[in-house]
Structure 1
Amino acid sequence: MDGTEPATRPGAIVAVLAFAGIVAALMQTLVVPLIGELPTMLGTTPSNASWVITATLLAAAVATPVAGRLGDMYGKRRMLLISTLPLIVGSVVCALSDSVVPMIAGRGLQGLGMGVVPLGISLLRDVVATEKLGAAIATMSASMGVGGALGLPLSAAVAENLDWRALFWSAAVLGALVAVLIARFVPAGRTAPDAGRFDPLGAVGLGVGLVALLLAVSKGSDWGWTSGTTLGLLGLAAVVLLAWAWWELRTRDPLVDLRVTARPQILMTNAASILVGFAMYAQSLIVPQLLQLPVATGYGLGQSMMAMGLWMAPAGLMMMILAPLGARLSAARGPKVTLAVGSLVIAVGYASSMPLLGSTWGLLVVTLICSTGVGLAYGAMPALIMGAVPRSETASANSFNTLMRSIGSSVSAAVMGVVLAQLTTDFGGHLLPSETGFRTGLLIGCGVALAAALTALAIPVKPAPVEEQALPSEPLAAAAR
């Protein structure tokens, strides 16, 4: 630490990092209003255009654990600033694109910046006093929901009233603003003097394994789940990830310390995270479709893209509003209880959908309940992870937990895709997901949320070592007061 550290109050640090999380989440929902128009815009097929979304998913999955490890080694603020660069450059590339290849490249670059959220959460442990840490983590975690919810109506408004390139120019400006605010207001945090060397072979192995796995999961419904391509990718993922685990257990400085992640508290938290990620994403796939399907189907609500986004937006805001409640519950009963309660609330939201389908207000209630549970659960996960790892591995462990949530979301998209594709109805010569298909998907989400609650209750929480419970060291504590 040197004398150039910004002397900033904790509130400003949390606000800046939460804003960074909102911007990162906006990048994921940025192209949703354009999905139907992408083939025409880029002069390509719908199949090729789908890579505009897939590229971001794959790049984020690979970059997140790498950014976490580098953050532990070289400083979290430094990696936060570095992570904003691909967000900015990728947005500019997309804004200038007139064909599918540069658009996919730009969206891949945007995905490389998705390590912002776990890095930000980990940095809070270094620069925020212990008594304020729970609320700060909950607020930062909720920023993802806010960004995702606001992204739909904002993107739809821009897409309907302005040139689509304005979306990406706006994203570039927001990314640059995030970088300036981080440089101005966020302290550097800790680096681990004995963090060792970076593990390039581990990074490549994890990247190849994840790309193969997520590619098969995300594109399996298009290629066919029994096709040679899908099965080959799943086989490749299994072989590569097993070899990667073998290497990580034997190398001196692993990218991910699997011995630490195998600790019961971390292992069970990551398992619950996969389930919560699944449950969170299922309703975000189903509800927008119900809102936009024609009223003539008997169960669709005939809303425009803009109106759908506005109906979905309050759910994300609810996550931010209830973040302090989750922090107080964790302080009183422990984050394990908060994670279990959050998962149960998600299940209640899904159960409430059964009598509320067929009404915009009813679906609003469903999304509000589900998002309340997601907000509670997402705020508790980092607290459980950080309570079980040393400070030197905070960013790496949080990034791996974020990856587990992403895998859960990817599996959810695949499962919901299969369910809705199998349970269809004929509408004017077109096959659409049936009401039975939507209800089945919602019941699956309810069951997975209940499984997440049971998994959370099984987490064996142990108190952190005394040295891990201490306040930040003097220079950092001074910056945080």
Structure 2
Amino acid sequence: MQTLVVPLIAELPRLLHTTTSNASWVITATLLAGAVATPVMGRLGDMFGKRRILFCSLGLLVVGSLVCAFTSDLLPMVVGRVLQGGAMGVIPLGISIMRDEVPAERMGSAMALMSSSLGVGSALGMPAAAFVAEHADWHVLFMGSAGLAAVALLLAALFVPESPVRTPGRFDVIGAVGLSAGLVCLLLGISKGSDWGWGSGTTLGLFAASVVILLAWGAVELRVRQPLVDLRTTARRQVLLTNLAAIAVGFAMYAMSLVLPQLLQLPKATGYGLGQSMVVAGLCVAPGGVVMILLSPVSAKISAARGPKVSLMLGSVVIAIGYASALGLTHAVWQTLIVSAIIGGGIALAYAAMPALIMGAVPSSETAAANGLNTLMRSIGTSTASAVLGVVLSHMTQPLGGVPLPSMNGFRTSFVIACAACALALLIAAFLPGRGTRSRTPATPAGETAVGEPGAEPAAPAGAGFHGLVRDADGEPLGGAALTLVSPDGRQVGRAVSRADGRYGLDAPAGGPYVLIAAADGHQPQADTVMAAATPVTHGIRFPRATEPASLRVRGTVRAAEGGRPLPDARLTLVDAAGNVVRTTITAADGAYTFTDLAPGEYSLIASGYPPVASALAVEGRGTDGFDLELAHPAAR
């Protein structure tokens, strides 16, 4: 969708029977719709199911493509392109589904490839679109995109499972409207500034309006119980710096798609143009997409071995090397292939690292929304690149036959600006938290991680395991939270307590899936499905705000099998029919327990003892009272 109409830009006014300024809305509309849809679709996926919203995104792409395929008028074309922009949420939704479903040994490379697809699609879409535009009716472009979207929709229906991870609550309509208005003003000013004039009242007014709207939106979001974008999470150093780096890398990525094809298509009479056709120019950019596909798994391995910060920094350096080489390697077509491949390799390394950085700092219930915001930051980078480099190339010109064309100095300046964007991304990434080495407290019982002395770093896994930060509903670090790691067969395999600063470290016996249960006084217990790898995995935990109890509940008492005395501090886990942990609690001093806010259905109640006891129960009507359990021995604390 990003490069589908690029080969048609010069012909759009004639094809749509309109002016050049009006025709530019065909590109701007998709940009604006994608910017709005990306965080909104991510939040809806977290709330109502990522697979379900994935279907909606792909459905919008099918409908929008069909609208564009059967019209030659401006207004329906813009409407169709708006619908196509709604499909931009596919990438963060896909990354989030992978986090919930893909085995640990495949998750890194899978997410890396999905993240890099934002660049792969742009690089491979260019030659395909150019070929169709030169050899067939231009409407075939949109018929093809509708067909591809329909195939993706069918494959998703057949093979993509629904994620069990949900964020209950209400959709933040005010937040969605405010963010949409602020983004539209910002991106509209960036994309249309060159047409309206950067100093015009309209452009400056849009920029001023975006600042005012986004500041007001931020103030409202901080007061909403369930915001569209959790600004406290977004303000964490790891999330904030990754998003800022995404803007810079997005700028550098789009510079290749914007500058190299123009240089390749300029006539040789200029002395520096390569005189190639639109199709050849697109094919020269394609190697970057191929390299992205090949290097995405490599980036995942680098991230696993050295941390995603290293992968992001390395990617920024490689992109900069590519643009620096372009200062001397643009005299022949084969040289541009090398430049494209180097830049594509760097983009693969950088883009693949971003989801790992984001997901290492947010709870799984906010994965889609957080990745959606990161994808939005990349889009802002590409929009800024289009505006900035467009101004450079339109002002640094030389005449040929009375027609002003971008000069070689203009192209070199564009390459230098792209290098500067990479240097900025490298600088930002340098301040990301690294993978530190922590020592273990020697007197730690087996299966339990020590809290450590005040001021000391929390114990972190030496191999497989998890570490991160526990926060309350307001985003503040939460100490004293009990963290329990449960194996797929229901055995407790590790336990830790968060420090006063909210940090924790927790060992896992081996790589693979586990359930991480978090409990703290005054907070609703949390349970996340997590995947352990060969190296420690960063996993943040955030407790939601307390909700009113529902009418459906289960309550009872846990007693000792011998003597019948009540057992305090027995850990109970409630699992639904699909095998997902939905609640966990610890019995009170009198052995009593209560699970509230339950949906009707079949459940299994597991009491951690010697051995554990599992009981099946059905929750319906007003719930179940008096569901008592007996344990042979006191439960593990």
- CA distance in 2 between partners of 1:442 and 1:55 (Å): 27
The one of 471, 477, 480 aligned to 2:531 = 471
Structure 1 distance, partners of 2:107, 2:97, is: 11
Cα distance change of structure 1 residues 476 and 332 upon mapping to structure 2, 3 Å threshold: farther
Contact 2:284/2:340 (CA < 8 Å) preserved in 1?
no
Contact 1:145 1:317 in 2 (8 A): no
Q: Distance in 2 between matches of 1:461 and 1:102?
A: 49
Tell me what 1:122 maps to: 96
Specify the code of the residue in structure 2 equivalent to 1:255.
Answer: L
Amino acid of the residue matched to residue 168 of structure 1?
Answer: F
Q: What do the CA deviations read for 1:90-145 (whole angstroms, capped 9, x no partner)? A: 01100111211100110111001110011101110000122321111111122222
Q: Look up the match of 1:19.
A: none
Give 1:160 deviation, angstroms: 1.8
Kept in 1, the 8 Å contact 2:100–2:529? The answer is no
* CA root-mean-square deviation: 1.6
Q: What is the CA–CA distance in structure 2 between the aligned matches of 1:454 and 1:213, rounded to whole Å?
A: 25
2:323–2:415 CA contact under 8 A, matched in 1: yes
Partner of 2:209: 236
| 8 Å contact from structure 1 (residues 90, 107) kept in 2 | yes
**Corresponding position: 1:321 with 2:294:** yes
- Alpha carbons 1:153, 1:307 under 8 Å: kept: yes
- The structure 2 residue matched to 1:348, chosen from 321, 327, 330, is 321
Between the aligned partners of 2:358 and 2:130, the Cα distance in structure 1 is 36
CA contact (8 A) 1:126 1:476 kept: no
- TM-score (norm: length of structure 1): 0.91
Q: Residue 327 of structure 1 aligns to which amino acid in structure 2?
A: A
Alignment of 1:62-461 (within 5 A): 62-192=36-166, 194-461=167-434
d(CA) in 2 for partners of 1:57, 1:426: 32
For structure 1, list consecutive stretches of 5 or more residues without a partner in the other structure.
Answer: 1-26
Report the TM-score when normalising by structure 2. Answer: 0.69
Q: Which residue of 1 is the match for residue 35 of structure 2?
A: 61
SS, match of residue 361 in structure 1: helix
Shifted more, 169-178 versus 221-230: the winner is: 169-178
Letter in 1 for 2:72: D
Alpha-carbon deviations, 1:60-115, whole Å to 9, x = none? Answer: 00000000000000111111001111101101100111211100110111001110
Alpha-carbon spacing, 1:141–1:56, altered in 2? closer, same or farther (3 Å): same
Does the 8 A contact of 2:100 with 2:165 survive in 1?
no
Contact 1:344 1:453 survives alignment (8 Å): yes
Contact 1:420/1:437 (<8 A) preserved = yes
- On the 8 A contact 1:58/1:111 being kept in 2, the answer is yes
- RCO comparison, higher one (Cα < 8 Å, 6+): 1
Letter aligned with residue 37 of structure 2: A
Identity of aligned residues (%): 59
Which letter maps to 2:468?
A
Q: CA offset at residue 312 of structure 1?
A: 1.1
| Helix, strand or coil at the partner of 1:28 | coil
Mapped to 2, the partners of 1:131 and 1:320 lie a distance apart of 18
Q: How much has 1:154 moved relative to structure 2? A: 1.4
Write the deviation string for residues 14-42 of structure 1: whole angstroms up to 9, x where unpaired: xxxxxxxxxxxxx2211112212211111
Q: Is the 2:69–2:143 contact (alpha carbons within 8 Å) kept by the matching residues of 1?
A: yes
Partner of 1:302, secondary structure, is coil
CA deviations on 1:134-172 (whole Å, 9 max, x unpaired) are 111111122222222221221122222222111111211
User: Which secondary structure does the structure 2 equivalent of 1:322 belong to?
Assistant: helix
Please say if residues 76 and 190 of structure 1, whose CA atoms lie closer than 8 Å, have aligned partners that are also in contact: no
For the residue of structure 1 that corresponds to 2:404, the secondary structure is strand
User: Residue 11 of structure 1 corresponds to which residue in structure 2?
Assistant: none
1:44-64: CA deviation from partner (whole Å, max 9, x where unpaired): 111111110110000000000
* Paired residues of 2:119 and 2:253 also in contact (CA < 8 A): no
**How much has 1:469 moved relative to structure 2?**
8.1
Q: Which amino acid aligns with 1:443?
A: V
- Which has the greater radius of gyration? 2
Unaligned runs of 5+ in 2: 436-466, 470-505, 507-515, 517-527, 533-574, 581-637
CA distance in 1, matches of 2:11, 2:391: 24
Runs of 4+ in structure 1 displaced over 3 angstroms? 461-469, 472-477
Cα distance in structure 1, aligned partners of 2:110 and 2:336: 30
Give secondary structure in 2 for the equivalent of 1:29: coil
Q: Is the contact between residue 189 and residue 476 of structure 1 (CA under 8 Å) also seen in structure 2? A: no
Inter-partner Cα distance in structure 1 for 2:413 and 2:388: 11
Which amino acid is the alignment partner of residue 93 of structure 1?
V
> Which of the pair is proportionally richer in helix?
1
Partner Cα separation in structure 1 for residue 308 and residue 63 of structure 2: 38
8 Å contact from structure 1 (residues 130, 469) kept in 2: no
Query: What SS does the aligned partner of 1:300 have?
Result: coil
Deviations 1:269-328 (A, max 9, x none): 111111111111112211111000111111110111011111111110110011111111
Deviations 1:339-362 (A, max 9, x none): 000001001111111111222111
AA of the residue aligned to 1:323: S
Partner AA of 2:412 in structure 1: R
Instruction: Tell me if structure 1 keeps the 8 A contact 2:37–2:87.
Output: yes
Q: Which amino acid aligns with 2:421?
A: V
